[in-house]
Structure 1
Amino acid sequence: MSEIIIQNLLSPVVLFFVLGIMAALVKSDLKIPSGLSEGLSIYLLIAIGLKGGIELSQYSIEDVIQPIIGALILGSIIPFITLFITRLMKMDLKNSIGLAATFGSVSIVTYGAAISFIEKNGVPYEGFMNALVVIMESPAILVSLLLLKVLENKKNESAMTIRNVGFVSGSARLFDKEVLRESLFGKSVLLLLGSLIIGLILGDRAVPMVKPLFMDLYSSVLILFLLSMGITTGQRLPEVKKHGLKLLLFGMFTPILFGALGVLTGHLAGLSLGGITLMGVLAGSASYIAAPAALKTSVPEANPSIYLGLALGITFPFNLIIGIPVYYEMAKWIQ
C-alpha cells in the first residue's frame, strides 16, 4: 500500500497539484487565467464524455444495466448517510443539505486522475465507466433537495392543517424549475451527457477525429488543470480550518466510507478490478462544480465556504494523494 501511495504522490498530476497549493500558500503571483481554466474544464468534460460514449457503444444493455443501477443507488443513498452524520455533528439543516448534495455527487477531475492512475498501473477497466460519471452527477442533488423540503415540511406540519389540496400544492413546489434545470442541464452535466451521446451515436467512427486531441493529450491537459485546481485549493484551505476539527475529519474519513460502499457496489455489479476501483472513486469523491452551482440557486443559506471549501480544500487533495490508492487496494482485496 505505501509503495502505491508513494508512486501516486510522485506522479506528474499530483506533483503539479501540490505545486499549485504551495503557490497559493506562499502567496505567489502565479495565476491561471480564468478563461484558460474554464477552457481546460470544458476539455476534460468533453474528453470523458466522448470516451465513455465510444466505449459504451461496444456494449449491450445487459452488460451495463447492473453498474448503472449500482451508480443510481449510490447517488441516492450517500446523501442520506451524509445528512445523518452531519446532523449528529449538530450542523444546521441547510449546511447539512449542502454537504449531502456535494458529497453525493461526483468529482470529474478526481475521476480523471483515477483513470490516469490505473492506466499507469496497467489495470484494464470497462469503458462504460465514463458513462457512470454522468449518471451519478444529478441524483444526489435532487435527493438532497427533496430531503430538505421533506424535513422543512415536517418541522412546520405541527402548525399546519394537512389537507389533500395542500399536500399536492406542497409537492408541486418540491423542486424549483431553476433548480431542476441547473441539476439536469447545467454546464457539466450537459457537456458530459451531450459528449456521451455523440460518442455513443458515432462509435468507432469518431476515433480518428477525436483521438489526437481528446485522447492522446488528455494526461497533459489534466496536469495543467490540476495546477489551476491546486492554486484554488490552497486559497480555500483557511476557509475550512476555521470551521473546526470535526469538519476536517469529516472531509477525510467519509470519502473512505463512501469509497468502500462504491467498491462493494462495483464488486456486486460484476465489474473488473479497474471498474471496481473507479466506482469507489466516484462514490468517495465530492462535487465542486455541479452541486455547488445548484446549491447556490436552491439553498442560498448554505455556506459555500463549508461545502465548497471542504470538497475542494480537503476531500479533493485527500482523494488525489491517498484516496485513489486506498480504493485500488480495497478493490484488490474484495476481488
Structure 2
Amino acid sequence: MEFLSEFLTRFVDKLQSPTLGFLIGGMVIAAVNSRLQIPDAIYKFIVFMLLIKVGLSGGIAIRNADLAAMLLPALFAVVIGILIVFIGRYTLANLPGIKTVDAIATAGLFGAVSGSTLAAALTMLESESIQYEPWAAALYPFMDIPALVTAIVLASLYTSKQKQRRAAEENLSKQEALSKQAVAAGGYPSEPEYPTTRQEYLSQQRGTEDNRVKIWPIVKESLQGSALSALLLGLALGILTQPESVYESFFDPLFRGLLSILMLVMGMEAWARIGELRKVAQWYAVYAFVAPLLHGLIAFGFGMVAHQITGFSPGGVVILAVIAASSSDISGPPTLRAGIPKANPSAYVGSSTAVGTPVALAVGIPLYIGLAQALMSS
C-alpha cells in the first residue's frame, strides 16, 4: 500500500511538472481550436538551442572523464540504445493495429534518454549516499544518439521497401492487364517474363529490394539531419573546446524555458493527430509500462558485467539502468519529428510522457537502487 501511495504521489508530481504541464496545455489549446501558432522558424531555433545545450553538457562531461574506465560502460550504452529500438521494432510493431513507423519512432524515443529522469536518479543516489563515477552521467549521449539514428534508419529502410513493394505490385498488375487484353482480342499472351504466380513474383521482387536498399546513405542522411547535426556539433564542441563560460551564462539558464515552449508545440501537434491513436492506445500503454522496466533490467545486467570486469560502481550501474529505462523528453521528439515525419507524435510523445516517464521515475529508480544495494552490498 505504501508503494502504491508513493507511486501515485510521484505520478501527480510529474503531472504538475512544467514539461508535462506545457505539453497538456498545448493539447488543450489545440482541442479548443485556438488560433495560437508558433512560427516554424522559432520552433527550429528552439530545437537547435536545446540540442546544442544537451550536446555541450555531454561533451564537457566526457572531456573531464576517465576515458579508459569509461570505455566499456560507454560501449554497453551504445549496444543497449540500439537493442531497445530493435526490441520495439519486433514487438510493438507486431501488435494489432500498430503502424510500423509509429512503433519504430516510439522505440526510438524509449531508446533515447531523458535528462530529467537522469537528474532525478542522481539526486536520489546522493540522498542514499550511493557512490558513482563523476563521468557516469555522460553515458547518456552514447545511448541517446545511437538509438535515434537506429530508429531513423529502420524507419527509412521500412519506408523504402514499402515503396518498392507497391511499385512491384503496380508493375505486375499492369502486365496482367496487358495479358488479359491480348486474350480478349483473340491473340495469345506472350510468355511471361516474370514467375507464373503473383506470390513468386513479389517474393522475387523482395529479394531484389534487399540488394537495392543501401544502408550507409540512410545513416549518412540521418547524421546530416538538422536535429542530429546540432546534437553532434554540441557534443564535439564540448569535447574539443572549453565552452563552460558560454554554457553557464547563456545555454543553461535558457534551457527550461525553451523546453517548455517545445513541449507546448509538441502538445498542439499531438492533439492534431490523436484521432489516429485512439483505436490502439491500449497497446501503447502496455508497451510504455513494460518497456522502461525491461530496458532498465537489461541495462542493469550489462552494468553488472562492467562491475565484474572493471569495477564499475553500484551507482554507475544504477545510472546505466535508469538512462535505459527513461524515454527522451528533449532530444528525442524534435529529432524523430524531423527524421520520421510520417510517425504520429501522439504515439511516441504520449506513450512517453503519460506512462513511460512516471513508471521510470516511480518504479524504475527505486527498483534499480534496491537491486544494486542487494547484489553489491557484500
Measured against the shorter chain, the TM-score band is 0.7 to 0.9
Larger radius of gyration between Structure 1 and Structure 2: 2
- Within 5 A, what are the aligned runs for 1:287-326? 287-291=332-336, 293-295=338-340, 304=342, 307-321=344-358, 323-326=360-363
1:262–1:284 contact (8 Å) kept in structure 2? no
Counterpart of 2:137 in 1: which secondary structure?
coil
Is 1:199 the counterpart of 2:238 in the alignment? yes
Deviates more, 1:193-202 or 1:144-153: 144-153
With normalisation by structure 2, the TM-score equals: 0.68
Is 1:277 the counterpart of 2:322 in the alignment? yes
Is 1:231 the counterpart of 2:268 in the alignment? yes
Kindly tell me: are residues 57 and 157 of structure 1, through their superposed partners in 2, closer, same or farther at Cα, counting changes over 3 Å? farther
- Within 5 A, what are the aligned runs for 1:1-335? 1-86=7-92, 88-91=94-97, 95-96=99-100, 98-106=101-109, 111-115=114-118, 117-118=120-121, 126-132=136-142, 133-143=144-154, 158-159=200-201, 172-175=211-214, 179-202=218-241, 205-241=242-278, 244=279, 247-267=280-300, 268-269=302-303, 270=312, 271-282=316-327, 287-291=332-336, 293-295=338-340, 304=342, 307-321=344-358, 323-335=360-372
1:76–1:104 contact (8 Å) kept in structure 2? no
What is the CA-CA distance between 1:282 and the residue it aligns to? Answer: 4.0
With normalisation by structure 1, the TM-score equals: 0.76
Deviates more, 1:62-71 or 1:49-58: 62-71
Counterpart of 2:55 in 1: which secondary structure?
helix
Question: Paired residues, what number?
Answer: 313
1:195-249 per-residue CA deviation (whole Å, 9 max, x = no partner) reads 10110112xx3211221112233223222222232222232322311xx1xx212
Kindly tell me: are residues 255 and 313 of structure 1, through their superposed partners in 2, closer, same or farther at Cα, counting changes over 3 Å? closer
Counterpart of 2:28 in 1: which secondary structure?
helix
Partner amino acid, structure 2, of 1:47: K
Partner amino acid, structure 2, of 1:70: F
2:56–2:237 contact (8 Å) kept in structure 1? yes
Partner amino acid, structure 2, of 1:142: V
What is the CA-CA distance between 1:136 and the residue it aligns to? Answer: 2.4
Deviates more, 1:169-178 or 1:2-11: 169-178
- In structure 1, C-alpha distance between the alignment counterparts of 2:111 and 2:91, rounded to whole Å: 24
What is the CA-CA distance between 1:29 and the residue it aligns to? Answer: 3.1
Partner amino acid, structure 1, of 2:281: L
- In structure 1, C-alpha distance between the alignment counterparts of 2:297 and 2:16, rounded to whole Å: 28
- In structure 2, C-alpha distance between the alignment counterparts of 1:332 and 1:38, rounded to whole Å: 38
What is the CA-CA distance between 1:42 and the residue it aligns to? Answer: 1.1
- In structure 1, C-alpha distance between the alignment counterparts of 2:247 and 2:329, rounded to whole Å: 30
Unaligned runs of 5+ in 2: 1-6, 127-131, 166-197, 304-311, 373-378
- In structure 2, C-alpha distance between the alignment counterparts of 1:308 and 1:12, rounded to whole Å: 19
Partner amino acid, structure 1, of 2:294: L
What is the CA-CA distance between 1:53 and the residue it aligns to? Answer: 0.2
2:11–2:358 contact (8 Å) kept in structure 1? yes
1:61-117 per-residue CA deviation (whole Å, 9 max, x = no partner) reads 33333333333333333344334335643458xx32x13431332379972443454
Q: CA RMSD in A?
A: 3.8
Partner amino acid, structure 2, of 1:128: A
- In structure 1, C-alpha distance between the alignment counterparts of 2:320 and 2:110, rounded to whole Å: 16
Partner amino acid, structure 2, of 1:68: A
Partner amino acid, structure 1, of 2:287: T
- In structure 1, C-alpha distance between the alignment counterparts of 2:358 and 2:77, rounded to whole Å: 24
Counterpart of 1:68 in 2: which secondary structure?
helix
- In structure 2, C-alpha distance between the alignment counterparts of 1:5 and 1:48, rounded to whole Å: 25
2:51–2:331 contact (8 Å) kept in structure 1? no
- In structure 1, C-alpha distance between the alignment counterparts of 2:36 and 2:370, rounded to whole Å: 42
- In structure 2, C-alpha distance between the alignment counterparts of 1:64 and 1:33, rounded to whole Å: 42
1:251-289 per-residue CA deviation (whole Å, 9 max, x = no partner) reads 222133332233124323252544432221148999544
Kindly tell me: are residues 112 and 136 of structure 1, through their superposed partners in 2, closer, same or farther at Cα, counting changes over 3 Å? same
